[in-house]
C-alpha cells in the first residue's frame, strides 16, 4: 500500500478518519493525501481543463476567500492529528465532490480511501444518500468508513460477511491483506434468512470450501440466523464485539439500487463500527 486518500469536510468524523489513516500509514509506509472539495453549485460551468468558470467578479472574489479559509482549516486539521513520520499532502478544489474523489483515486493511483461518515436515515437516506455512500458504491479501491474515534486503530476481531460466491475472489485478496496487516482473526459469517434459508450443514461446507480455496488462516466459520441480512451482520458483530466489518459491494446504481438497496451501503449508514468495503 503506497497511497491513502482521506476526503475531509473538517467534521469530527473526518478527523477520526484521518487518525485511522495515520495508523494504517505507520504500518504500511503509505503517504496520505487530505482532500477537501468545495462542492460546485448547480449551474457552475467548467473549462475544458476542469477549472471553474465564474460568472462575475463578486462570485470569483467570494470563492477565493472561501478557498483561503479552507486552506487555513486544512492546516489546523493537519496540526491536530499527530502524524510524525507519515507523509501528508493536501489538496483543495472546487468541483463535484464524488466526481473529484473518483478522479483523484484514478490519477493518484490511490490504494485505500478512509472517510468519515455521519450516517443517515429515513427519507433523506432514501432520496439522496450521503457522499460517503456514493463513494462506497463507485470507488475502484477499498474504502474504510469511520464514525467514531478509534484509539490506536488496530482491529483484532474482523467480521467478513458474504455469500461466498465465485465473484468475491478479488475482494478476498483485499480482505486477507488487511487481516495480515493487523494480524487479526477473521470471522466468516453467512446470514441465513427466512427468504433464502439453507441448512446449516450445507452452509458450513460452503464456508469451509471458501476458506480452503482462498487459503485463509486464523478464522472462524459462523452461520447466523436473522430476519434480514443487514440486521444479522450488525447483531453478529455486536455478539463477538467486532472491531471492524468487511464486505464486498456490487456498486448498483440508479433504479436498481433504489429498489433493491445495498447491504454494504446500509451497514455504512447504520453501524458505529468501521466498515471496509470493496466494489466487485
Residue of 34 and 133 predicted with greater confidence: 34
pLDDT score for 59: 63
Q: Which residues contact 63 (CB under 8 A, 6 or more apart)?
A: 38, 52, 54, 94
Cβ contact 239:207 at 8 Å: no
Over 90: is that where the pLDDT of 164 sits?
A: no
Would you tell me how many other CB atoms lie within 10 Å of the CB of residue 145?
30
Over 90: is that where the pLDDT of 87 sits?
A: yes
Q: Per-residue pLDDT tens for 213-265?
A: 999 999 999 999 999 889 999 999 999 999 999 998 875 544 433 333 477 87
pLDDT score for 122: 44
Alpha carbon distances (Å) from 39 to 55, 73, 94, 220, 276 = 16, 16, 6, 44, 25
Please give the average per-residue pLDDT across 184-199, as a whole number. 92
User: Which residues on neighbouring strands pair with residue 33, listed in sequence order?
Assistant: 5, 89
Q: Where are the beta strands (DSSP E) in the chain?
A: 3-7, 31-39, 45-46, 52-53, 88-95, 112-116, 143-146, 157-161, 185-192, 219-225, 244-249, 275-279
What's the N-to-C CA distance of the chain in angstroms? 19
| 46: its cell numbers | 467548467
pLDDT score for 125: 38
pLDDT tier, 148 (very low <50, low <70, confident <90, very high otherwise) = very high
Residue of 151 and 129 predicted with greater confidence: 151
pLDDT tier, 117 (very low <50, low <70, confident <90, very high otherwise) = confident
pLDDT tier, 126 (very low <50, low <70, confident <90, very high otherwise) = very low
Closest C-alpha to 217, from 191, 180, 251, 258: 180
Kindly report the pTM of this predicted structure. Answer: 0.87
**Domains of the chain, CATH where assigned:** 3-146 (3.40.50.620), 157-274 (3.40.50.620)
Residue of 253 and 147 predicted with greater confidence: 147
pLDDT tier, 61 (very low <50, low <70, confident <90, very high otherwise) = confident
In the chain, % of residues over pLDDT 90: 57
Please state the length of the chain. 280
Amino acid at each position: 500500500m503506497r497511497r491513502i486518500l482521506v476526503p475531509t469536510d473538517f467534521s469530527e468524523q473526518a478527523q477520526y478518519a484521518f487518525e485511522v489513516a495515520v495508523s494504517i500509514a505507520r504500518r504500511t509506509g503509505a503517504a496520505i493525501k487530505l482532500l477537501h472539495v468545495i462542492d460546485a453549485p448547480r449551474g457552475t460551468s467548467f473549462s475544458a481543463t476542469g477549472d471553474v468558470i465564474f460568472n462575475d467578479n463578486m462570485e470569483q472574489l467570494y470563492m477565493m476567500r472561501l478557498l483561503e479559509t479552507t486552506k487555513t482549516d486544512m492546516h489546523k486539521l493537519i496540526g491536530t492529528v499527530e502524524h510524525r513520520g507519515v507523509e501528508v499532502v493536501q489538496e483543495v478544489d472546487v468541483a463535484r465532490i464524488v466526481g473529484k474523489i473518483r478522479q483523484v483515486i484514478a490519477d493518484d493511483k490511490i490504494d485505500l480511501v478512509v472517510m468519515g461518515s455521519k450516517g443517515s436515515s429515513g427519507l433523506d437516506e432514501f432520496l439522496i444518500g450521503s457522499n460517503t455512500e456514493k463513494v462506497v458504491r463507485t470507488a475502484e479501491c477499498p474504502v474504510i468508513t469511520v464514525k467514531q474515534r478509534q484509539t490506536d486503530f488496530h482491529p483484532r476481531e474482523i467480521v467478513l460477511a458474504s455469500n461466498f460466491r465465485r465473484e468475491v475472489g478479488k475482494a478476498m485478496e483485499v480482505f486477507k491483506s488487511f487481516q495480515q496487516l493487523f494480524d487479526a482473526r477473521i470471522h466468516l459469517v453467512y446470514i441465513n434468512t427466512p427468504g433464502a434459508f439453507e441448512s446449516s450443514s450445507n452452509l458450513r461446507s460452503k464456508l469451509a470450501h471458501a476458506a480452503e480455496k482462498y487459503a485463509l488462516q486464523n478464522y472462524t466459520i459462523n452461520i447466523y440466523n436473522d430476519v434480514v441480512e443487514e440486521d444479522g451482520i450488525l447483531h453478529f458483530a455486536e455478539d463477538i464485539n467486532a472491531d471492524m466489518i468487511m464486505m464486498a459491494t456490487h456498486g448498483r446504481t440508479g433504479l436498481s439500487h433504489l429498489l433493491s438497496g445495498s447491504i454494504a451501503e446500509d451497514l455504512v449508514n447504520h453501524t458505529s463500527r468501521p466498515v471496509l468495503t470493496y466494489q466487485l
